[in-house]
Structure 1
Amino acid sequence: MFGLFKKEFKVLSPLNGKMVPLESVPDPVFSQRIVGDGVAIDDLQGDIACAPVDGTIVLIFRTNHAFAVKMKNDVEILVHIGIDTVELNGEGFERLVEEGSVVKAGDPVIRFNRNVIVTSGRSIISPVIITTKENIAQLSVNVVKQVSTGKDVIFSYKLK
């Protein structure tokens, strides 16, 4: 009964594109929720990945293809731009902030070149997941088709 009164936290889209279920990601690590739960963004428009929540950048992969934001409630959100993009060794990705930076939802974090990803034969579909799923009591995915960076809620959650 007390779970009804727990605060709901909202996660905004870090990318412009079409929201799709995590099961659509052509990588079992994401589609089978091995590293966490969430959604994916496909048919990316634009060239900036932004922070989906207020928090601290706790990780930016050396290849700049993915980053994680940790909120004050210790929940971490991972934004992974494309699939198998680590194999590009940083080509087409530019870091706009450093690890340890405090960000607000909608702040630019990574600039990417969509054409580099697509012409390399990799998928542009981009998972956005909660990696600290053991802290989550309830995850609610928003049913939105097209999402805009920093504007549309892609999912919300409640803590245990």
Structure 2
Amino acid sequence: MSDIQVRFATHKDAPAVAALHVSACRAAYAGQVPDTHWEATPMAKRVSYWKEAIEYGEPQVIVALAGQEIVGFVGFDRSRDPKSKNTTGEIWAIYAAPERIGQGVGLALWDAAREGLEDEGCTDVTVWLPLLHEKTLRFHDLAGFKREMNTARTVPLGGVKVEEVRLKRKLA
């Protein structure tokens, strides 16, 4: 049984979400994106972004807790992809603290996001993932997502180019 609880984020969670976002990205992109990229944006600006997202629900943000500690978060909403149906949702971001990977955080967040998207009337969900993140791709494969190879794109990140692919699955 997992010790992970989930709830919608509040304003007071923004600093913890911003810090976790940076630490999780540093770990996920280690060896691909220079550390200087994560240091380029001041933490105050990152906290401001997450406060605004939480306040306006764009994206909706759910945090995962182990006790009182935020150990992961997911941001989800309608798809931002042009030409997507209005019933298509998107996982904008899903991260677990690096030391908590493999401990049920991602599953708890995915379950909460799926329920939230279904409540919003979505019938499908997509997520963009870097091709080199094998653990992340495997997690989404196990969650029923299928790769849409014709959607591959290159995204500049920290002075390097990151190859991404969109994955999709039905919600019901």
**What TM-score, normalized by structure 1, do the two folds share?**
0.26
Which structure has the bigger radius of gyration?
2
The structure carrying a bigger strand percent of its residues is: 1
